[in-house]
Structure 1
Amino acid sequence: MALPTGPATSWLQRTGFPSQLFETGDNDYELYEAEDEFVLSVEMPGFEPDEMNVSWSDGVLNIVAEHEDEQRDRRETYHRRFRFPKDVAEDEITAKYTNGILEVRLPVMRGATVSGTEIEIQG
């Protein structure tokens, strides 16, 4: 059973539930690895820094935001998780919000390598 992605029905709007539980756009973020860090930029227009929560746990960056738009009687939510393949210096992670863009910098620990098992490619 798929969740509805269209506009909420009138009874759902009265409950205060958002019509989409999670952001479904694929192009709302950019992630790349620079020399010694990962850099993540997430488009989050309409949110204020105090409405966002960025946390790190066991190789996963979690971004959650919620905004009440009282004029339109609407609640906007955002939730996305990012898993990182290398060890990150968690005490050095920084986040900055400017002009609707949240930028998170995650320094990679010295000597960190991609974890996991190498898989042989047959051909």
Structure 2
Amino acid sequence: MAMSFDPFSELDRLAGDLRHFRPGPKFMPVDLYRHGDQYVLNADLPGVDPGSVDVDVDGQLLTIRAERTAAAHEGVKWLAQERPNGSYLRQFSLGDGVDPDKISASYDNGVLSVTIPVSERAKPRKVEVQAAHKADEQKTISV
């Protein structure tokens, strides 16, 4: 059986190894979407202890931190160890259109869900148009 060499799969493997060993916080993939009057942010944090997950709001900055600790396996010989351990960090600028006091978060099956409500002042509203009176139409505006 002939075996072919795929340089791209080897590059993918090496790049994965480099991401695993780089210093500093690990990458946390997220999905962010708007549903009605709220934004929903889902972050993948598989294997993270829920007690280590921290969600902070400081002014207009939302910060998510988490820690994934290595499993203690005494006397084992590792054949593969690709699941990154360490800290995870993501920060998001909220802008003025959200209500930071009503942000909520939950963690289920390795996914952190953060719900960010749109503020009342940022919601679309209907402005009533009233008919002008004849007397009002004759007034001139001076600048």
Q: What TM-score does the superposition give when structure 1 sets the normalisation length?
A: 0.67
User: 1:83 maps to which residue?
Assistant: 93
User: 1:31 maps to which residue?
Assistant: 32
User: 2:114 maps to which residue?
Assistant: 104
Which amino acid is the alignment partner of residue 23 of structure 1? K
Structure with a larger share of its residues in strand: 1
Please state how far the C-alpha of 1:75 moved relative to its aligned partner.
4.3
SS at match of 1:80: strand
User: 2:56 maps to which residue?
Assistant: 55
Please state how far the C-alpha of 1:76 moved relative to its aligned partner.
1.6
Question: 5+ residue gaps in structure 2?
Answer: 1-16, 75-83, 124-143
d(CA) in 1 for partners of 2:114, 2:72? 30
**Identity across matched positions, percent:** 29
Checking the alignment, whether the CA contact within 8 Å between 2:42 and 2:111 is kept in structure 1 is yes
Checking the alignment, whether the CA contact within 8 Å between 2:60 and 2:95 is kept in structure 1 is yes
d(CA) in 2 for partners of 1:22, 1:72? 23
Deviations, residues 68-109 of structure 1 (Å, cap 9, x unaligned)? 224269842100101123332222111010000000001011
Checking the alignment, whether the CA contact within 8 Å between 1:97 and 1:103 is kept in structure 2 is yes
d(CA) in 2 for partners of 1:24, 1:67? 12
Q: What TM-score does the superposition give when structure 2 sets the normalisation length?
A: 0.59
Which amino acid is the alignment partner of residue 67 of structure 1? R
Which structure has the larger Rg over C-alpha atoms?
A: 2
Which amino acid is the alignment partner of residue 43 of structure 2? V
Checking the alignment, whether the CA contact within 8 Å between 1:86 and 1:108 is kept in structure 2 is no
User: 1:120 maps to which residue?
Assistant: none
Structure 1 segments of 4 or more deviating over 3 A? 72-75
d(CA) in 1 for partners of 2:54, 2:64? 6
